Amino acid sequence: MDIFLQQIINGLVQGSIYALVALGYTMVYGIMGLINFAHGEVVMIGTLVSITVTSTLAAAGVPLGLAGLGGLIAAMLVCMALGWSLERIAYRPLRGSPRLTPLITAIGMSIVLQNLAMIIWGRNYLTFPPLLPKVNFEFAGAHFTLVQVAIVLLSAAMMGGLVFLVYRTKLGMAMRATAQNPAVASLLGVNTNRVIAAAFVVGSALAAVAGVMVGSYYEIAHYQMGFMLGLKAFTAAVLGGIGNLAGAMAGGVLLGIIEALGAGYIGDFTGGFLGSHYQDIFAFVVLIIVLMFKPSGLFGEKTGDRA
Amino acid sequence: MKNWLSPRSTAGIALITIALVALPFVVGMGGQAWVRILNFAILYVFLALGLNIVVGFAGLLDLGYIAFYAVGAYTWALLASPHFGLHFPIWAILPIGALMACVFGVLLGSPTLKLRGDYLAIVTLGFGEIVRIFLNNLNSPVNITNGPQGITLIDPVTIGSFKFAGTSQIFGFAVSGPQKYYFLLVALAILVIIINLRLQHSRIGRAWQAIREDEIAAKAVGINTRNIKLLAFAMGASFGGIAGGIFSAMQGFVSPESFSLIESIMVLAMVVLGGMGHIPGVILGAVLLTFLPEVLRYAVVPVQMSLFGKVLVDPESLRMLVFGLALVLVMRFKPAGLWPAPERSREQTQKACVAVTQTTAEAVK
């Protein structure tokens, strides 16, 4: 039982990170119907920038907590600029071109960002400075750390903020209008270009926060870390029904928990035939099963017949 | 067909034949490594043409295509290597490999028939990853794939007593292993291209295109969309399976590393960059994207030396950086691909008015 609880906690932490990244995918998809394949790399850039800034500040004598905050803010700023430029360079010029064209530019940008990161930060694994004191909590036999608590709380706060932004502000209303019908929205005075850019910027800010979380959770970072994370987060977004904010959050948390439980119990299920290195399979197997029965995700609206 | 035999066409075919025969020897002067790259370019032509059936003809976005390549490669590796002590002849393995890939294609296709667009993309991507993870881990408790170490000492292709590995004397010429494989690959490639050209305008090919343009309309005119879609997956997969088999024999070694997601993405990039649904474009895309990173590999160091006088930036990452930028730039200025089908480029120009009518129609709804 305590293993069960422990895996639920681990899954919840991992899931909140997935959810934050998934929100970036789903916002862009909801508004423009585009998979932003380079989003995972934005997370990676966020982690690496925050490492550099935090360790520079810490080396200059700034207290670690403050240095971490500086790192977070720097990462958010860099990623927001990056998200904005991605949209300008790789996506905006291609609006109205065949559906797969932006997919290839996204892949191109993803390759560019990865290699740029490798040139700047090198091939080696970087260690993330411990931002929070290592405090352990125990609850009903399951252990968790302060970092884990902080990740769950911070991501809940970010998601709350995003929901507020989308459903209670003028920009959010413009976003929803553009998502429904860009042409009509622009007829009604919405600057759709600005709204789309805003979606990229907000999504990238969330990605930066997720990047700092991943860094401080695993205490390690690498120029290739964005790829698998982005893939899982995208899976989470599709699982929940892509284009749907609540779906992305639920999908992220669900995916994290399924993975953690799967990794914890697969040996028992299969009598030791399959081990925990099959962890990565769960995400995809669950996705395939869900989509077989609900072809547009758990919370997705029915998509049109033209893909 | 009569036009084919006009003097100009005959001369053209003769020229192409001479060029194709001379190519490996010309390239071979720069070293056998280039002949190997040439062979890989042809393998990628196979893969890109196979994926083109699924993505270009039938309009089903498949991001896990490399799984079928993996199935073909591992089928060959398991049936013709000391790993299980089996040494089947090529006439047995190639069809078995194609069939296995075909089965996997249907296996992937059948649960995903209802899915559309990007949902299909992510499921196929997941399928590709699942296959790779299984290949990576099926070494215990029963050792089937030998895990991450992969399978070594795979039999090269032999037809009769003719061995494709190693140098041999043919008509007094020394012909190296890669050069012999080149001719095998070109022969197969011509076959594959002919099959593709014939398919495109056949009843099935037109049914695929109908599904791509509008699935409901296709159904309404009596196309069995389920079977036709499954057929696209199965045919695309079997091309991948054959390419995989040749790959494994040519390399003598397979490991799960060769079948990662980025490979699927590369093949897709070849199809889209060349010109989706247009066979000459797809071939061009495959050849270009195989050679570009290799040419860059040799170019980045000298260029840096002449610009800065020393190697400033890690050449490996610089070459991939340039490659990524090239992908972005090509798509930026040629959104329909480098060599799109004629009707596609017409669509491009009509796009603006179509978009307007569509949005008006939606608004009316």
pLDDT in tens, A190-232: 999 999 999 999 999 999 999 999 998 988 888 888 888 998 8
**Euclidean distance between the first and the last CA atom of chain B, given in angstroms as a whole number:** 49
Closest CA to B154 of B43, B262, B249, B23: B249
Closest CA to B109 of B183, B58, B52, B154: B58
Q: Model confidence over B62-86: pLDDT tens digits?
A: 888 999 999 999 999 999 888 887 8
Question: Which of A111-125, B77-91, B215-229, B273-287 shows the lowest per-residue confidence on average (mean pLDDT)?
Answer: B77-91
Residues in B touching A283 (Cβ below 8 Å): 126
What is the per-residue burial (b if ≥16 Cβ within 10 Å, else e) of B285-295? bbbbbbbeebe
Helix (H, G, I), strand (E, B) or coil at B58: coil
pLDDT in the model for residue B302: 81
CA distance A31 to chain B (A): 14
A169 sits in the region (left: phi over 0; alpha: psi -120 to 50; else beta) called: beta
Residues in A touching B48 (Cβ below 8 Å): none
Q: Model confidence over B300-356: pLDDT tens digits?
A: 778 877 877 777 777 778 888 888 898 899 888 888 888 888 766 555 555 544 454
Domains of chain A in sequence order: 2-130+149-293 (1.10.3470)
- Pairing mode of beta strands B173-175, B168-170: antiparallel
pLDDT in the model for residue A305: 42
* Positive/negative CA dihedral, A257, A247, A87, B271: positive
Q: Which of A99, A104, A232 to mutate to test the interface with B (most CBs of B within 10 A)?
A: A104
φ, ψ of residue A221 in degrees (nearest 5):
-150, 160
Q: What is the three-state SS of B241-289?
A: HHHHHHHHHHHCCECHHHHCHHHHHHHHHHHHHHCCCCHHHHHHHHHHH
- For chain B, what percent of residues have pLDDT higher than 90? 30
* Closest chain B CA to residue A95: B335
| CA angle (A194, A197, A202) in 5-degree steps | 120
User: Is there a contact between B363 and A184 (Cβ–Cβ < 8 Å)?
Assistant: yes
* Closest chain A CA to residue B126: A284
Q: Do B127 and A288 touch (CB under 8 A)?
A: yes
pTM for the whole structure:
0.86
pLDDT in the model for residue A306: 39
User: Is there a contact between A216 and A128 (Cβ–Cβ < 8 Å)?
Assistant: yes
DSSP structural state of residue B151 = B
Residue B250 near chain A (CB below 8 Å): no
Residues in A touching B115 (Cβ below 8 Å): 291, 295
Torsion of CA B128, B130, B132, B136, to 10 degrees: 180
Q: Model confidence over A112-124: pLDDT tens digits?
A: 999 999 999 988 8
* Positive/negative CA dihedral, B103, B104, B107, B112: negative
Domain ranges for chain B, please list them: 2-277
Q: Do A29 and B116 touch (CB under 8 A)?
A: no
CA distance A180 to chain B (A): 10
Q: Model confidence over A231-282: pLDDT tens digits?
A: 889 889 988 888 888 999 999 999 999 888 887 777 676 666 666 677 778 8
Alpha carbon distance A154, A198 (integer Å)? 22
